Chains A and B, each alone.
Chain A
Amino acid sequence: MRTKPPADITLPQFTLVFVIFGVLAIFALLWPETTQQDLALGRTRATIWVTSVMLIPAFVLFPYRTLSPGVANLAHLFWTFAYLLFLIHAYWAVFIIFGGVGNTFRQMGALIAGVNFLLVLWWGLDVILLWTMQATSPAAARFQIATRTFTFLVFAITLIVLRGGPVRTLGIALTVATVLAVVIRFWVRDRDAEYVPVA
């Protein structure tokens, strides 16, 4: 089991992800201006929605990263820009809504706040290592898989279990797409293993 670090990112690959990121970020920051709800709360909610949207291709492409450098690059780009969206969300939640780290723990409770801060740090460390270490070792792969698994569980549980309403649909979409991608990947790999090419 090895990782496939980002390499030779092409302009179309970067543009695809950056444009999606930009459109989602602008939407999340400006759409609440058109509603009657609390602007800061609206931005906090919208940024977590768009982070979830950005994570779907990141999760779906990740199991296929070894198939080609292009897929690996897209998976890593979506993962990285999803983190940037998540940082915007975290900033609004912690500093605008709750008024600081201490208040966040007080108002959210230690468990939920702790999980969220752990996610910020763990995901951030993963992104930094991804772009700086260029590691391909099995240990690096395990670290990446563990990070994504944790991130997936946090988002899936939050969106489906802890939140109601339309955002639950987004959580279901994220979960179904991710699980399907992983299952198909394993299925294809098993078939590859069974297939013995005729010499």
Chain B
Amino acid sequence: MSISRDRLYRVSHAALIGANLLVFVALLATAIFIHLENGWAKPVFRASEEAFVHGTIGTELMPLAVAQVLPDLFPEDFQPGGPQAGDWIAQFGFQRTGEAADKGALPIGFAVSHYRPGSGAASPVPFVGFSCALCHTTRIRETADDPGRLLYGPGSVSLNLFAWLDAFQSAILAREPAAPGGAASREPPYRLTLTTISKAYAAKTGRELGIAERIMIWAWLREIRGRIQAGLPRFDAPFGDGRSRDPAVAPTGPTRTQPFRTLVRTVLDRPGNDMPVYTKIATVYSEDLRRRAQFDGTIADLYARSSLAALAAGATITNMALPEIAHNIRSASDFTSTLRPPRYRDMFVSAAAGLDPARLERGHAVYRQYCTACHGDREAVGGAWKNGPQTGEVVPFATIGTDPERVLFRHYDELAERMFELFPASHPFHFPREDIWPQPGEEQNVAIRGYVNAPLDGMFLRAPYLHNGSVLTLAELINLKKRRDVFYRGDNFYDPEDVGFRSPDEADTRNYFRFDTSVRGNSNRGHDYPWAYDDPARNTDDLAALLDYLKSL
């Protein structure tokens, strides 16, 4: 069939006009998209407590719709103790608000925003990240029947975040069972898909996912799966399948994190797998009393400390610069500056009523002799905390004798400089180089590394004790009682007599994590003040009196 020259011209002419129109429409659509995008994330500038509890710190992890159904889709990952051990919130130690209206809602510390993970770009659908309250909120309960008291400030007694992250990654990478007779070279499809999420979401909420939700979930799934897979050669695969809470898999356990594993991966681009650095989640009362933060006192500036904590929890340099996220981090930090602990006498009324004033005075004398210089004391009038002359100083680990792994881990020498370089001068969380240790030239000086003398206000709420959470009670910390070599962690009940947490003799549904103090990084030795347990001078009456006085702080 021949085509006339005129016809060819008309067709090509129409094609060229069509191409121009197509490009014009695409440009227009792009402009409209960007205009709409600007309205997706309206910054919210919260008051300080609100920022602490609900404000995102840049750790967006997944779309809200996914967070609502993921545990239902992967019970083998999110209910490792079996259905009888409770839902995923209970099994990983998250906290509920306790209000009836919140039944089925996400736990405290799951912040909802319209920022995408990593970039902080605006999203048309809500994403779930973390607020400060995720880690720094706990519920103190004495018995199973006790509804307990929810407190902002103390490190969570029960949260096993690293185990939950293992379960999360396992769910993202889970595949369908291999088909019988299928090609061995071909991997089965992933279980978590847009389709499975859509079906589960519709079944749970009675609502179909919208087009924007579908697009964002599809894009998120590609991105996060790609990122986890890209990291597998360096970081290794998650365990999942009910093993996430196993101490051999996630040795951090409840109440603790491995903050430097994340920072080493983020900042140095190294695996960070061979570092037994476990630190309990910090209690963040009265941060205004602390000249230096972190257990080793390496950071002076409160905002710098908070921004590095956010970075360790998954925030990025990019999204921490967003006005709302920067405000949340600063405002939540301000909240912890002036947040004061409740008093023992108000929380444990009957136990406090039984305290003998004479013994309290004797305990105070012991405290003044052995503790005040390093930790400070409450003023007699008004009860405000007053730091001691050595509060805020770093005691070398060789002197204090506690587990040294926290200050001897690989990369310790280079992290400070690299973290400083991470925040350019124009960044909201840029800090002076002198605010972070070790200073240039002192990187290799191991002798100056140690642990900082901290104020002890609200001491009864700072359990478990020592930086690695290896001592469950104050009675053991002051060597009134022998420190346990092995105990069990989970959602432990509070012990107002020994001041700290109770542990069963063997694992149970509630306390599943075997804490072995002989494991590297878990040592419970050191800080033998006033006396070591085997010191002949040890006076148990004085120690019992000291324990009573410590309750009053």
The size of the chain B interface, using a CB distance under 8 A, is: 24
Q: Restricting to A5-51, which residues have a CB under 8 Å from any CB of B? A: 11-12, 14-15, 18-19, 21-23, 25-26, 29-30, 32-39, 41-42
CA distance A32 to B33 in the complex (A): 14
Residues of B within 8 A of A37 (CB): 119, 318
A11 and B16 in contact, given A35-B119, A39-B119 (Cβ under 8 angstroms): yes
The one of B20, B223, B426 in contact with A18, judged by C-beta atoms closer than 8 angstroms, is B20
Q: How near does chain B come to A141, taking the closest CB pair, in angstroms? A: 31
Q: How near does chain A come to B38, taking the closest CB pair, in angstroms? A: 10
CA distance A15 to B34 in the complex (A): 25
The one of A11, A33, A38 in contact with B13, judged by C-beta atoms closer than 8 angstroms, is A11
Q: How near does chain B come to A86, taking the closest CB pair, in angstroms? A: 16
Residues of A within 8 A of B19 (CB): 15, 19
The reply to whether A22 and B119 form a contact with Cβ atoms under 8 Å apart is: no
Quick one: closest B residue to A98, CB to CB? Answer: B426
The reply to whether A25 and B30 form a contact with Cβ atoms under 8 Å apart is: yes
The one of A15, A26, A36 in contact with B26, judged by C-beta atoms closer than 8 angstroms, is A26
The reply to whether B121 and A19 form a contact with Cβ atoms under 8 Å apart is: no
Asked if B27 is at the interface of the complex by the 8 Å CB criterion, the answer is yes
Quick one: closest B residue to A22, CB to CB? Answer: B23
CA distance A34 to B120 in the complex (A): 12
Asked if B24 is at the interface of the complex by the 8 Å CB criterion, the answer is yes
The one of A11, A29, A41, A42 in contact with B34, judged by C-beta atoms closer than 8 angstroms, is A29
Asked if B331 is at the interface of the complex by the 8 Å CB criterion, the answer is no
Q: Restricting to B367-392, which residues have a CB under 8 Å from any CB of A? A: none
The reply to whether A12 and B119 form a contact with Cβ atoms under 8 Å apart is: no
The one of B17, B26, B219, B316 in contact with A22, judged by C-beta atoms closer than 8 angstroms, is B26
The reply to whether A19 and B17 form a contact with Cβ atoms under 8 Å apart is: no
Residues of B within 8 A of A19 (CB): 19-20, 23
Asked if B242 is at the interface of the complex by the 8 Å CB criterion, the answer is no
Residues of B within 8 A of A41 (CB): 318
Asked if A68 is at the interface of the complex by the 8 Å CB criterion, the answer is no
The reply to whether A15 and B119 form a contact with Cβ atoms under 8 Å apart is: no
1/0 per residue, CB under 8 A from A, across B106-128: the answer is: 00000000000111111000000
The reply to whether B119 and A38 form a contact with Cβ atoms under 8 Å apart is: yes
- How extensive is the interface on chain A, given as a class? 20 to 34
Quick one: closest B residue to A25, CB to CB? Answer: B27
Residues of A within 8 A of B316 (CB): 36
Quick one: closest A residue to B319, CB to CB? Answer: A38
Residues of B within 8 A of A39 (CB): 119-122
The reply to whether B120 and A38 form a contact with Cβ atoms under 8 Å apart is: yes
Asked if A107 is at the interface of the complex by the 8 Å CB criterion, the answer is yes
**Max chain B C-beta neighbours (<10 A), residue from A26, A30, A38, A107:** A38
CA distance A35 to B222 in the complex (A): 12
Quick one: closest B residue to A43, CB to CB? Answer: B34
Quick one: closest B residue to A20, CB to CB? Answer: B23
The reply to whether A12 and B26 form a contact with Cβ atoms under 8 Å apart is: no
Residues of B within 8 A of A21 (CB): 23
The one of A14, A30, A36 in contact with B30, judged by C-beta atoms closer than 8 angstroms, is A30
The reply to whether B16 and A12 form a contact with Cβ atoms under 8 Å apart is: yes
Q: How near does chain A come to B325, taking the closest CB pair, in angstroms? A: 12
Residues of B within 8 A of A42 (CB): 119
Residues of A within 8 A of B26 (CB): 22, 26
The one of B20, B33, B34, B321 in contact with A14, judged by C-beta atoms closer than 8 angstroms, is B20
Q: How near does chain B come to A58, taking the closest CB pair, in angstroms? A: 19
Residues of A within 8 A of B30 (CB): 25-26, 29-30
The reply to whether B17 and A11 form a contact with Cβ atoms under 8 Å apart is: yes
1/0 per residue, CB under 8 A from B, across A150-172: the answer is: 00000000000000000000000
Residues of A within 8 A of B27 (CB): 22, 25-26
Residues of B within 8 A of A18 (CB): 20, 23
Which residues from chain B sit less than 8 Å from chain A, CB to CB? 13, 16-17, 19-20, 23-24, 26-27, 30, 33-34, 117-122, 219, 223, 316, 318, 321, 426
Could you list 18 further interchain pairs (A-B, Cβ under 8 angstroms) beyond the known A12-B16, A22-B27, A37-B119? A14-B20, A15-B19, A15-B20, A22-B23, A22-B26, A23-B23, A25-B27, A26-B26, A26-B27, A33-B121, A35-B119, A36-B119, A36-B223, A36-B318, A37-B318, A38-B119, A38-B321, A39-B119
Which residues from chain A sit less than 8 Å from chain B, CB to CB? 11-12, 14-15, 18-19, 21-23, 25-26, 29-30, 32-39, 41-42, 107
16 residue pairs bridging A and B, Cβ less than 8 Å apart:
A11-B13, A12-B16, A14-B20, A15-B19, A21-B23, A23-B23, A25-B30, A26-B27, A30-B30, A32-B119, A33-B121, A34-B223, A36-B117, A36-B118, A36-B223, A37-B318
